[in-house]
Amino acid sequence: MSVEKIIGDWKKGKFKPVYLFHGEEGYFIDQLVDFAENNIIKAEEADFNKTIFYGKDTDWVPVVTACRRHPMFAEKQLVMIKEAQSMNSIEKLEAYLESPLASTILIIAHKGKTIDKRTKLFKLLDKNGEIFISAKIQDYKIHDWISDYVNDIGMKISSKSVSLLQEHIGNDLGRIVTEIEKLKINLGDKKTIDEDVIEKYIGISKEYNIFELQAAIATKNLSAAIKIINFFEKNPKSAPIQMALPALYTFISKVYSVYGLSNKSEFALKPLFYNNSFAVAQATTMMNNYGYNGIEKLILLLHHYNMKSLGVGDSGTEDAALMKEMVAMMVVG
């Protein structure tokens, strides 16, 4: 069951007596909770027929009491538990879940983790209600997700701009949406998100970022790579070494895997690089400049300097110095 299907059923007046929304990705859970809170019960009926609990501030007794009430001057009432993962004795809801009232819509929003499928609580929720698992989107799907979201809100975004957002934010959908909405507000009537806009309103440099560091390494441009690392040194939050090295490893390991493909055309490589034409171009350039043995060396150097950044075989060299030493070894040898 998808977010769209659940909301579609709600719009048609089709309700289950109980819903469990659980999982690691809070964004989709928030979508469902926000829609339910603002749309299921009419505004004029909400005072008597909408009850919101927060897991850390409640236990099972008031929740069950609220669920067993009958709606006043309405067909349905809504009872919602937000942040249910923080609720003590949530398993005590089992007695109510064995025979939930058809006139009550109970929504349990359990963020950050899933409820164990082996428990009686989960089995009752599955038997008498609807369960939605909100899983993290895999990294290789984030690029397309950002593009699709921007298109859905009536805007356009360049592929490179998508990469900047993805590298800066990662797969935190809530933060991605917040930043895109910020851009939309600041752009007013303008409909295109590009690198200049991202730099101006979000603060992600269009010149000094992981994507451009990859490009500098791919083209063996040591001076450009050093300039980028100098920027990172002056702006520690922009790309700490603990973020930079894994990002570089992810990209270069994908380049390395290309050698195992029989078809190395741009069309064949795009799925491997999240359908990002700029990343494919970088990968092709890197392969041309380094060759198989050179790419293998880059991976070994990344592993070596990652260990040094963790203090293995190193007596406390500054992160920027480690990065400069590493790219020099990569580019010059």
pLDDT at 138: 84
pLDDT at 298: 96
First to last CA, the chain: 53
Token pair, residue 322, equals: 């480690």
pLDDT at 235: 87
Q: Of 9, 3, 4, 17, whose CA–CA distance to 77 is shortest?
A: 17
Reported confidence tier of residue 274, pLDDT bands at 50, 70, 90:
confident
Q: Of 8, 63, 67, 68, whose CA–CA distance to 39 is shortest?
A: 8
Q: What pLDDT digit, counting tens, does each position of 58-90 carry?
A: 999 999 999 999 999 899 999 999 999 999 899
Burial class (CB in 10 A: 0-12, 13-18, 19+), 320: middle
Q: What pLDDT digit, counting tens, does each position of 304-331 carry?
A: 999 999 989 887 899 999 999 999 999 9
pLDDT at 267: 87
Alpha helices by DSSP H, listed for 15-138, are 26-39, 46-49, 60-68, 94-97, 120-128
pLDDT at 83: 95
pLDDT at 164: 86
At which residue do the structure tokens 């992810």 appear? 250
Would you identify the CATH topology of the domain 3-133? Rossmann fold (3.40.50)
Residue type (1 letter), 10: W
CB 86 within 8 A of CB 58: no
For the domain with range 210-331, which CATH number is right: 1.10.10, 1.10.238, 1.20.272, 3.30.70? 1.20.272
Alpha helices by DSSP H, listed for 153-221, are 159-169, 173-187, 195-201, 210-218
Mean pLDDT of 237-245: 86
What CATH number does the domain located at 139-201 have? Answer: 1.10.8.60
DSSP H or E stretch at residue 132:
strand 130-133
Token pair, residue 82, equals: 């937000």
Token pair, residue 272, equals: 């491997």
- Per-domain residue ranges of the chain: 3-133, 139-201, 210-331
SS3 of 206, please? coil
Q: Is the pLDDT of residue 219 over 90?
A: yes
Q: Of 211, 284, 225, whose CA–CA distance to 254 is shortest?
A: 284
Mean pLDDT of 282-302: 95
Mean pLDDT of 214-235: 94
Whole-model pTM: value is 0.74
Q: Is the pLDDT of residue 209 over 80?
A: yes
Q: How many CB atoms lie within 10 A of CB 136?
A: 16
Reported confidence tier of residue 275, pLDDT bands at 50, 70, 90:
confident
More confident residue, 271 or 12: 12
CB 100 within 8 A of CB 66: no
Mean pLDDT of 152-181: 90
pLDDT at 286: 96
pLDDT at 104: 97
The overall average pLDDT reported for the chain is 92
DSSP state of 59: -
More confident residue, 169 or 115: 115
